[in-house]
Structure 1
Amino acid sequence: MCLTGTLLRSVLVVLLLTNTCGKRRCNFKEILDSYRVVILVELQNLARRILVSIYGMTQQIRCQRGGRLQFDLEKPVESMEQLIIHKCSPDYLGKRNSCSAVKKIRGKKRKRNRVIKVIKTLITCWQKLQSIYMLSK
């Protein structure tokens, strides 16, 4: 979101400078349309990175739990992972991490704290994804 504001300020400064310093008139509509295209591409790239991060975190939780669901918080995370797998192509998400690459956490309390921390991060990522979606509309 700060990136968007910075780019907007830069475009406005360029518009003001070209209007006062240039000998010919600027086509403001053309400049703003170009700005929208650049921002839309940046927002789409950011949304993809966030979605891939969400997918990676859901895989982490799946690998940590082993075979069965231990906490009620893990059920929505598993649903998230299934939804992302169902709606996104494998090329979009990248390769799937193996559970052997994820460091296992020993102890119920540590494992629960780790799951809660990852779920809080997931919530933050979903909020960012929602705000990006609202900006791109």
Structure 2
Amino acid sequence: MALLLTSIFVLLFICLITTGLLKKKKIFFPLLVITVLFTGYQITTMIQVINEKQKEQIAHTVSEQGGTLVEYEKVSVHQSPFESFGISTDAEYQIYKVKVNKNGKPEIGWYRTVNAVVGSDEGEWIWEPRGK
């Protein structure tokens, strides 16, 4: 839906430019404001969807290991270690500081992805108790 609306705005701009109507300030400014607001809304929505997907994946893995997710915080994103040797890969891993309840006891540890494609959270998720 968002892609369709963006395409409509782009086509509208092209039509206005080719017809010369864009030079009129009564049309240009409101259209510019609407486009900027819509683009900001799209970016914000996309970030929220990605964050929700990450939370669901972490909660699922924690529950598979007999725990309940309490809270999590993204600590860092690292590129593949091969990048330093000049070998280009599409792998990265993300590190989260995670607080979970396991067997009724709170536990804090690190949760990371490995073998994930850049820009996605697909890959193997590994839980490491605090201290590793």
**TMscore range, shorter length:** 0.3 to 0.5
Instruction: Specify which structure has the higher proportion of strand.
Output: 2
Greater RCO (CA < 8 Å, at least 6 residues apart): 1
TM-score between both structures, scaled by the size of structure 2:
0.42
